[in-house]
Amino acid sequence: MRILVTGGTGNVGRSVVEQLVRAGVTVRVLTRRPSRLMPGPVEAFTGDLADPQSLRRALAGVDRMYLFPFPATAPAVVRLAERAGVRRIVTLSSGAVSTGYDTNFHLPVEQAVERSALEWTHVRPAEFMLNNLWLWGPSIRAEQVVREPFPDRTGRPVHERDIADVATAALLGAEHHGAAYTLYGPETISRRDQVRLIAGAIGQEIRLEVVTPARARELYLAQGGFAAASADFLTGFQTYSGDAPGPAPAEPQAAAAPGPMPTAADVTGTPARPFAAWAREHADDFRG
């Protein structure tokens, strides 16, 4: 069995690659930057989902595929996969599809796969725990401070390795065709408590400074990267789909309401990883 992993140098894809290698299958990785690949027994192919034709060589001889979301070219990529003889695609999607908020990014990728004749599974994680590293990491490392507009907002963020566990199970197992797995973390936790747990993991005090949504937006835009790209949504100036929420920004909807919610354990049988464990694993990333 040969499995192609797109986005294989990313935070989820990298873990998928590691697990597939341990499972003993032949792993092929599509990447724009081969230098970022981990050393190991993988077949590296240079390509970019923005250019579907660059996938032709990588798709040759592939049985199954992990598809990173790129809606603009998803239909063309899926057609190429079909013609190459791929039999199964597992998509990295979003919990916002399940809640109806995502209609123009992950959903079109899912639809392109479902229109094909291939077996498919969608993995729909809610908020990533990793978001906190991308948002708060720079200010924690530089100043031991987090500036947050909604400190008491709660959610159920999910560990990236839980997402990878489910994706790997869907790639390898025979019982996941036609499933869409919405994934939350195992606990409801506030932003304030997330900061507290990160502080405990790194052994340093972190000051939580409550700022207005407008100020948080300014800071995220200045920071760049994920923070800038998500600034309007994270601060309530824009809905998930990119629309303005109204005359004044509103607090973004929490990731999940209290009560039982689906986690990776429902698919893998292994308990989902709590936020405290994630904070300990990423402690060095937060230290200055």
253-279, pLDDT tens digit by residue? 554 455 579 999 999 999 999 999 999
Structural domains of the chain sorted by starting position, each given as residue range(s) with its CATH number in brackets: 2-125 (3.40.50.720), 131-156+186-257+273-286 (3.40.50.720)
CB 276 within 8 A of CB 199: no
Cα distance between residue 250 and residue 230, in whole Å: 15
174-231, pLDDT tens digit by residue? 999 999 999 999 999 999 999 999 999 999 999 999 999 999 999 999 999 999 999 9
Q: Which residue in 164, 145, 181, 229 sits closest to 12, CA to CA?
A: 164
60-105, pLDDT tens digit by residue? 999 999 999 999 999 999 999 999 999 999 999 999 999 999 999 9
Mean pLDDT of all residues in 43-50: 94
Cα distance between residue 98 and residue 261, in whole Å: 12
Residue whose pair of structure tokens reads 């040759």 in the numeric block: 60
Cα–Cα distances in Å, from 277 out to 30, 87, 101, 214? 30, 36, 29, 32
- Looking at residue 256, its pLDDT comes to 47
